[in-house]
Amino acid sequence: QCVVFPTGYLHETFVDPRDNDNGCYTASTFQFNHPRQVNLYRAYMSSFSMSHYGMGEPCVRNIAAYATLLSRADFEARPSRDAMRKEADRLMRHIDGASGDQRITRDELYAAFCTGQTQRRRLMDAGGFRYPWVQGLSKAQRAELEEEAMGVWAEDALQYHDIDRDGAISLDELAHNLLHWNVVSWRLEAVRATARAGSDTAAWVRTAVDQEAATLREHFCAN
């Protein structure tokens, strides 16, 4: 029997002793990290970031390379629509290439980030493709894995930002998603900083509630 659990589901395996017939049962779980679940993460990023996925586990951090297109902008700074629009415009000019049509395709993402040894090494790290079992592969198999990883990243990056599903990323889509990541990153760091500030639980809760109210009012109530 096989059951598929999407990201974000809690699951527990249990065999009723009455059905055990004195035998031994094994429950095996296999996790598929690639392709990334970029559409689900983008849609629920605000919730995920405030759960153990963001607070304790690296799940949100693992999406950064897709959400930011490897931008070095300070996304933990106070959210700025103008700054994120400016960064989206810079990325658009860098990636769009000779076409100049203000639309980023999968092939343009590949050309901008997945060619050349330096860029490939960076993307293998940032995209989370450095699996331990890679050490057991031959040189030819590693080359095949790297090429497949580049294609997977380019497609997933497109999927993350192509909100209207027309096969390309517009400047508005990119600016929207960069601002979204800016808000999520700043909010997450603000909550962490508040928790680190002191041991007075009541004061921590009051500060956290005030921060959340301001964040929701400013960034989550617009259409």
For residue 25, the model assigns a pLDDT of: 66
d(CA 201, CA 205): 6
Helix (H/G/I), strand (E/B), else coil: 170:
strand
Q: Which of 20-29, 37-46, 63-72, 92-101 has the lowest mean pLDDT?
A: 20-29
Tens digits of residue pLDDT in 150-198: 999 999 999 999 999 999 999 999 999 999 999 999 998 888 887 777 6
CA–CA distance, 155 with 157 (Å, rounded to integer): 5
6 or 80, which is more confident: 80
Provide the sign of the torsion angle of the four alpha carbons 111, 117, 123, 128, taken in this order. positive
Q: Helix H segments across 106-200?
A: 106-113, 117-126, 139-161, 171-197
The reported pLDDT for the residue numbered 12 is 74
